[in-house]
């Protein structure tokens, strides 16, 4: 928290550029008291809240107070408080208090009287000794953060405050994350402006990849470069240009801009700014020591003042109509490319500001209305209802009230009706008046319904919303918009999904796979975009992967075919999913240009809509943690509320817990790549298991003494066993298999491993660990067997199998010999998605995941003690109907469970997000 001699501190100046902020009335007037702090003046405000100068009436000192605006992201605000509170260092701004009063959350921080390094650099490069002294202090502050496991992610001159004595205070840890967090931040730019945040990013952050402390080291190098030369190392007229420079270009040589710069300093900056993180300094302390050793007597020529030009004081942070100042940047930020309009960037507006999840925007054809789904009106159920509002403002109108999820709306061409999918009345495709009323069903089940341009038909697809499934699991259908018999239009495809109408309504573009190689890793499947004529006379592959794969762009899902013949789509690059645009020829048979990224950020941008030169999309922040609830696990009866086990910002998967509930291993990407971690519940200590890093299922034996983990690299999986000692220390791991491609489960006595030899899992094998002998134990002619798991006595194996668009649970006796389908015991009826079975401790109950009530929840089936045949009907154990704790906020392959004597552990995702609009017609 900081100020300077100017009317508004430089790192708050970005809030002044927003017209809504300029006219906003301060929530608190001078003299108002929050807890023991008296408000003195408003320093700045933004869409996320306000910043005040205040007096601590108890200790009689000045402080700065951030007040979170109502309805904003409480979790991120708390995250900043916890992050900064953990960092007690003279070069990091101090946090004094965090609290909530009268419904307002607030954060009290140190008030820094001086200005920022950004202000100091406006006069040009710094004297060499001053440059090096400040660099050492910056590095010391970063080192303290890194030792606490925190990366700053937004290090730049505007976030480096200087006290009147010219000592460094690092500020704005609102973007800080525990190392290797999910979402990375960028800033918005307009024509002719340079995005401050982007100019200091590391290449991996610019590409949306997960970060570690080496990203801060790159940013440190860019700051040191500017302190030395007076110029930013990466400059361009547009944000995309800045990002491209960060990723691909080398900065101008320092000696050309400041002759006489010590060669040691040039080398230090160059090493900090290497594109490959592995070639930088690996810890910031090494860079600090190198800076301390620079000989300041060798600079013989005077510093050359760089031509700076006019630089805006504003840093347009976060795609938002309220353009949050960097002090208040408490949400993931992103940028929208402005090149669609020749002379102006888009006007960016935040359409929703809900604390939960608002997503799936859809425009009316004239762009004046936006429909979307939100849990804003469903506090109790957490269900997503359908809402509609004017894009230019106004109160949203709720169209559904059934307490069930409603998704993926789309307007009719006359804007009078909205088609959507719903779990209402057993689920299906529904149409409702845009003014409200009773929805009517026009088709059973389905995803992403879209009216044809003439409004006569609706196209949609059926199947589980995963990119890869078994044959006939995903199909595309046409149904009359007034209801009638659906007609399949995707025969001949193993996978067909995500249909998009051509502007003239004569063709449909879709994502499809003709066939899949059972031995292929899923990413290698021949996914392609196809264009089919409605009359069936033409079917053209567009070879999208040939274009995108060399660019490392994956999972391209088409969303809109615009009137000017471009396809808008979402795709994954690195660890981020963004929105892209690619031009297509008028006849729809080929692409007419390269792909262009429209949004740049970590995390997920989804729910794409386009109309009347307006782009809408949701920015979603998925978070996957481990939970547990007490239960009589032999009876399938919950005995208490859910408890959150992990609270880091990573993705936490596949808990495997000892029978007494005292030890657990899990998969987590909290440090970047997925690693297997060990947790001792007695001490609370969590430890990464050395040598892991694969993203495959770990397992802990019921006695908690043996862990199995695996590492997948270059299509080879190495499987390891490791004993865990009584004090929680690890024995030396031993490799038990070098070619067990897909390891599933270990017998409870740690003698036998179950695995598959390909990712489509036709068969399941056992490995006798002592002898190394491999035996096929489950065999069938159809693909996609999965999640085999030994019973507590190791005499049975439970597993699931895909059946078209459904999944079914089976058990089979195990004696080390082959069992074909005639020996399988069906546990579920194959009418739903029932998968990933887990045994109760007594072996007389099977838990599994099922979508039979419209949501993915935990169900169970009692078994006959001897035959293991079903005894009675399946029953629900725990429901997950809210997006705030859901099993559907992650991939199907990511769900996991562990059953102990008195608890059930599982991973569940929470999704929060809001909707934004970029208006390209704005000038």
- Residue 600 has a CB neighbour count (10 Å cut-off) of 29
Q: What are the tens digits of pLDDT across the range 463-496?
A: 876 554 444 478 999 999 999 999 999 988 888 9
CB neighbours of 389 closer than 8 A, spacing ≥ 6?
Answer: 351, 369, 370, 395, 396, 397
What pLDDT is attached to residue 887? 83
CB neighbours of 651 closer than 8 A, spacing ≥ 6?
Answer: 182, 622, 623, 624, 668, 669, 674, 890, 894
pLDDT band, residue 310 (cuts 50/70/90): very low
Record the tokens describing residue 670, joined without a space. Answer: 């909290």
DSSP character at residue 432: E
How far is 35 from 97, CA to CA, in rounded Å? 10
pLDDT band, residue 518 (cuts 50/70/90): very low
Residue 326 has pLDDT above 90, yes or no: no
Farthest CA pair distance, the chain: 90
Integer CA distances (angstroms), 660 to 469, 680, 700, 703, 841, in order: 37, 12, 12, 8, 11
Residue 541 has pLDDT above 90, yes or no: yes
Distance, first Cα to last Cα, the chain: 35
594, 586 contact by CB (below 8 A): no
Average pLDDT over residues 184-188: 34
Residue 81 has pLDDT above 80, yes or no: no
How far is 900 from 35, CA to CA, in rounded Å? 45
Q: What are the tens digits of pLDDT across the range 707-718?
A: 998 877 656 788
CB neighbours of 818 closer than 8 A, spacing ≥ 6?
Answer: 775, 776, 777, 778, 779
User: Cβ-count burial of 89 within 10 angstroms (0-12 exposed, 13-18 middle, 19+ buried)?
Assistant: middle
Cα 329 versus chain centre, distance: 18
DSSP character at residue 795: S
CA angle 487, 493, 499 (to 5 degrees): 60
What pLDDT is attached to residue 649? 65
Catalytic residue among 18, 73, 154, 405: 154
Crossing angle, helix 263-272 and helix 213-229, to 10 degrees? 140
Record the tokens describing residue 781, joined without a space. Answer: 């002619």
Record: fold of 456-603: Neuraminidase (2.120.10)
Record the tokens describing residue 613, joined without a space. Answer: 């030169």
Residue located via tokens 């040939």? 546
What pLDDT is attached to residue 573? 77
What is the DSSP pairing of strand 796-803 with strand 806-813? antiparallel
How far is 915 from 360, CA to CA, in rounded Å? 8
571, 547 contact by CB (below 8 A): no
**DSSP line for 554-567:** EEEEEEEE-TTSEE
What pLDDT is attached to residue 506? 95
Q: Any idea how long the chain is?
A: 923
83, 176 contact by CB (below 8 A): yes
pLDDT band, residue 437 (cuts 50/70/90): very high
pLDDT band, residue 73 (cuts 50/70/90): low
Sketch the domain layout of the chain as residue ranges.
10-292, 456-603, 622-912
- Residue 899 has a CB neighbour count (10 Å cut-off) of 24
- Residue 103 has a CB neighbour count (10 Å cut-off) of 6
- Which is higher by pLDDT, 497 or 599? 497
Comparing 53-57, 112-116, 488-492, 563-567, the range with the smallest average pLDDT is: 112-116
Residue 4 has pLDDT above 70, yes or no: no
What pLDDT is attached to residue 466? 59
Record the tokens describing residue 777, joined without a space. Answer: 């134990």
Highest mean pLDDT among 283-297, 489-503, 588-602, 639-653: 489-503
Residue 441 backbone zone (phi > 0: left; psi -120 to 50: alpha; other: beta): beta
Integer CA distances (angstroms), 22 to 39, 190, 482, 644, 889, in order: 19, 19, 49, 41, 38
Residue 18 has pLDDT above 60, yes or no: no
Residue located via tokens 């705030």? 884
Average pLDDT over residues 70-78: 66
**DSSP line for 740-780:** -SEEEEE-TTS-EEEEESSTT-S-EEEEETTT--EEEEE--
Three-state secondary-structure class, residue 18 = coil
Integer CA distances (angstroms), 869 to 95, 248, 508, 811, 829, in order: 60, 61, 46, 8, 12
Residue 780 backbone zone (phi > 0: left; psi -120 to 50: alpha; other: beta): beta
842, 852 contact by CB (below 8 A): no
Q: What are the tens digits of pLDDT across the range 201-250?
A: 999 988 888 888 999 999 999 999 999 999 999 988 777 788 888 998 88
Q: What are the tens digits of pLDDT across the range 641-674?
A: 999 999 876 789 999 999 999 999 999 877 666 7
How far is 426 from 853, CA to CA, in rounded Å? 8
Comparing 76-85, 88-97, 358-367, the range with the smallest average pLDDT is: 76-85
761, 768 contact by CB (below 8 A): no
Average pLDDT over residues 899-918: 91
Record the tokens describing residue 859, joined without a space. Answer: 């169900």
- Element spanning 401, H or E: none
pLDDT band, residue 141 (cuts 50/70/90): very high
Average pLDDT over residues 426-432: 91
- Element spanning 908, H or E: strand 903-919
How far is 731 from 724, CA to CA, in rounded Å? 6
CA angle 77, 80, 82 (to 5 degrees): 110
Residue 328 has pLDDT above 50, yes or no: no
How far is 171 from 509, CA to CA, in rounded Å? 48
Residue 136 has pLDDT above 70, yes or no: yes
Residue 691 has pLDDT above 60, yes or no: no
Residue 858 has pLDDT above 70, yes or no: yes
Secondary structure string (H, E, C) spanning 834-850: EEEEEECCCCCEEEEEE
456-603 and 622-912 share one fold: yes
Residue 727 has pLDDT above 70, yes or no: yes
Record: fold of 622-912: Neuraminidase (2.120.10)
The dihedral built from the CA positions of residue 669, 672, 678 and 682, taken in this order, carries a sign that is negative
Record the tokens describing residue 760, joined without a space. Answer: 């489509």
**DSSP line for 837-903:** EEE-TTSSEEEEEE-TTSS-EEEEEEB-TTT--B-S--EEEE---BTTBBSSSS-GGG--EEE-SSE
Identify the CATH number of the domain defined by range 10-292: 1.10.510.10
Rg over alpha carbons for the chain, rounded to the nearest Å, is 29
Average pLDDT over residues 605-618: 88
pLDDT band, residue 346 (cuts 50/70/90): confident
DSSP character at residue 383: P
Residue 322 has pLDDT above 50, yes or no: no
CB neighbours of 896 closer than 8 A, spacing ≥ 6?
Answer: 653, 654, 655, 656, 697, 836, 906, 907
The rounded percent of the chain whose pLDDT value lies above 70 is 81
Residue 11 has pLDDT above 50, yes or no: no
Integer CA distances (angstroms), 356 to 73, 649, 723, 856, in order: 9, 17, 43, 19
787, 763 contact by CB (below 8 A): no
- Which is higher by pLDDT, 384 or 669? 384
pLDDT band, residue 71 (cuts 50/70/90): low
Record the tokens describing residue 526, joined without a space. Answer: 């021949």
Three-state secondary-structure class, residue 142 = helix
Highest mean pLDDT among 326-335, 664-673, 897-906: 897-906
- Which is higher by pLDDT, 20 or 361? 361
How far is 835 from 881, CA to CA, in rounded Å? 18
pLDDT band, residue 817 (cuts 50/70/90): very high
Q: Is 739 a catalytic residue?
A: no
How far is 717 from 708, CA to CA, in rounded Å? 13
Mean pLDDT, the chain, rounded, equals 81
How far is 296 from 550, CA to CA, in rounded Å? 46
Average pLDDT over residues 322-333: 27
How far is 828 from 870, CA to CA, in rounded Å? 8
What pLDDT is attached to residue 341? 34
666, 677 contact by CB (below 8 A): yes
Residue 54 has pLDDT above 70, yes or no: yes
331, 379 contact by CB (below 8 A): no
Residue 10 has pLDDT above 70, yes or no: no
The rounded percent of the chain whose pLDDT value lies above 90 is 44
- Which is higher by pLDDT, 814 or 729? 814
Highest mean pLDDT among 76-85, 170-179, 842-851: 842-851
How far is 354 from 352, CA to CA, in rounded Å? 6
CA trace torsion 493, 496, 499, 505 (10° rounding): 10
Cα 317 versus chain centre, distance: 19
The dihedral built from the CA positions of residue 218, 219, 221 and 226, taken in this order, carries a sign that is positive
């Amino acid at each position: 928290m900081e100020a300077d001699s100017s009317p508004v501190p430089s790192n708050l100046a970005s809030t002044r550029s927003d017209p809504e902020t300029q006219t906003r009335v301060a929530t608190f007037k001078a003299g108002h008291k929050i807890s023991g702090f008296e408000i003195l003046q408003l320093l700045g405000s933004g869409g996320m809240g306000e910043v005040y100068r205040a007096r601590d009436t108890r200790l009689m000192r000045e402080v700065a107070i951030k007040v979170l605006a109502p309805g904003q992201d409480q979790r991120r605000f708390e995250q900043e408080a916890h992050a900064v509170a953990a960092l007690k260092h003279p070069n990091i701004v101090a946090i004094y208090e965090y609290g909530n009063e009268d419904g307002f959350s607030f954060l009290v921080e140190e008030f820094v009287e001086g200005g920022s390094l950004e202000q100091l650099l406006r006069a040009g490069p710094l004297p060499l000794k001053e440059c090096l002294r400040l660099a050492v202090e910056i590095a010391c502050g970063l080192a303290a953060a890194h030792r606490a496991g925190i990366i700053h992610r937004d290090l730049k001159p505007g976030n480096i405050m200087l006290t009147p004595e010219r000592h460094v205070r690092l500020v704005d840890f609102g973007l800080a994350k525990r190392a290797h967090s999910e979402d990375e931040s960028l800033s918005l730019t307009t024509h002719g402006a340079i995005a401050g945040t982007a100019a200091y990013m590391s290449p991996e952050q610019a590409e949306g990849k997960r970060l570690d402390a080496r990203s801060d080291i790159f940013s440190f190098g860019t700051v040191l470069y500017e302190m030395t030369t007076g110029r930013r190392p990466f400059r361009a007229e547009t944000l995309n240009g800045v990002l491209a420079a960060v990723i691909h270009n080398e900065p101008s040589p320092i000696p050309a801009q400041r002759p006489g710069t010590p060669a040691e300093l040039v080398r230090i900056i160059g090493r900090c700014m290497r594109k490959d993180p592995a070639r930088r300094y690996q810890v910031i302390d090494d860079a600090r020591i190198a800076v301390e050793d620079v000989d300041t007597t060798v600079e013989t020529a005077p510093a050359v003042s760089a031509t700076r030009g006019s630089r805006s004081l504003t840093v347009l942070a976060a795609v938002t109509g309220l353009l949050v100042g960097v002090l208040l940047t408490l949400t993931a930020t992103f940028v929208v490319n402005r090149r669609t309009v020749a002379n102006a960037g888009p006007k960016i507006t935040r359409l929703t500001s809900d604390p939960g999840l608002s997503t799936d925007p859809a425009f009316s054809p004239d762009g004046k209305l936006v429909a979307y789904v939100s849990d804003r009106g469903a506090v109790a159920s957490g269900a997503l209802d359908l809402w509609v509002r004017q894009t230019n403002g106004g109160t949203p109108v709720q169209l559904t009230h059934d307490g069930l999820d409603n998704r993926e709306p789309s307007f009719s061409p006359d804007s009078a009706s909205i088609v959507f999918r719903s779990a209402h009345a057993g689920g299906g495709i529904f149409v409702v008046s845009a003014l409200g009323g009773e929805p009517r069903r026009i088709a059973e089940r389905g995803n992403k319904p879209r009216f044809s341009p003439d409004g006569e038909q609706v196209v949609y697809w059926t199947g589980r919303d995963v990119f890869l499934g078994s044959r006939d699991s995903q199909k595309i259908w046409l149904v009359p918009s007034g209801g009638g018999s659906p007609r399949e239009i995707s025969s001949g495809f193993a996978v067909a999904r995500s249909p998009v109408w051509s502007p003239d309504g004569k063709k449909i573009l879709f994502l499809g796979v003709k066939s899949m190689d059972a031995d292929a890793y899923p990413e290698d499947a021949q996914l392609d975009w196809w264009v089919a004529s409605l009359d069936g006379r033409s079917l053209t592959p567009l070879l999208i992967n040939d274009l995108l794969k060399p660019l490392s762009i994956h999972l391209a899902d088409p969303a809109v075919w615009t009137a000017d013949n471009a396809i808008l789509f979402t795709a994954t690059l690195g660890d981020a999913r963004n929105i892209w645009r690619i031009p297509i020829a008028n006849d729809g048979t080929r692409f007419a240009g390269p792909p262009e990224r429209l949004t740049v950020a970590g995390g997920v941008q989804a729910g794409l809509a386009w109309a009347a030169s307006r782009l809408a999309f949701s920015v979603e922040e998925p978070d996957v943690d481990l939970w547990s609830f007490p239960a009589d696990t032999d009876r399938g009866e919950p005995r208490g509320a859910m408890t959150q086990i992990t609270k880091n910002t990573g993705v936490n998967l596949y808990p495997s817990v000892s029978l007494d509930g005292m030890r657990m291993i899990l998969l987590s990407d909290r440090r970047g790549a997925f690693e297997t971690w060990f947790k001792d519940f007695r001490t609370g200590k969590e430890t990464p298991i050395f040598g892991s890093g694969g993203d495959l299922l770990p397992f802990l034996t019921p006695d908690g003494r043996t862990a199995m983990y695996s590492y997948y690299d270059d299509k080879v999986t190495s499987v390891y066993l490791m004993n865990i000692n009584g004090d929680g220390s690890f024995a030396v791991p031993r490799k038990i298999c070098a070619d067990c491609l897909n390891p599933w489960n270990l017998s409870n006595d740690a003698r036998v491993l179950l695995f598959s030899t390909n990712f489509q899992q036709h068969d399941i094998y056992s490995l006798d660990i002592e002898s190394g002998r491999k035996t096929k134990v489950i065999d069938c002619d159809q693909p996609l067997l999965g999640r085999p798991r030994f019973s507590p006595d190791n005499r049975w194996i439970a597993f699931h199998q895909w059946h078209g668009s459904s999944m079914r649970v089976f058990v089979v006796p195990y004696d080390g010999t082959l069992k074909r389908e005639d020996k399988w015991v069906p546990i579920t009826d194959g009418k739903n998605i029932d998968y990933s079975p887990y045994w109760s401790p007594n072996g007389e109950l099977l838990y599994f995941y099922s979508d039979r009530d419209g949501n993915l929840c935990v169900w169970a089936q009692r078994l006959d003690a001897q035959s293991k045949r079903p005894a009675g009907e399946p029953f629900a154990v725990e429901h997950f109907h809210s997006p705030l704790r859901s099993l559907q906020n992650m991939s199907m392959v990511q769900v996991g469970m562990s059953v102990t004597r008195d608890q059930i552990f599982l991973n569940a995702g929470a999704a929060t997000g809001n909707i934004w609009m970029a208006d390209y017609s704005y000038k």
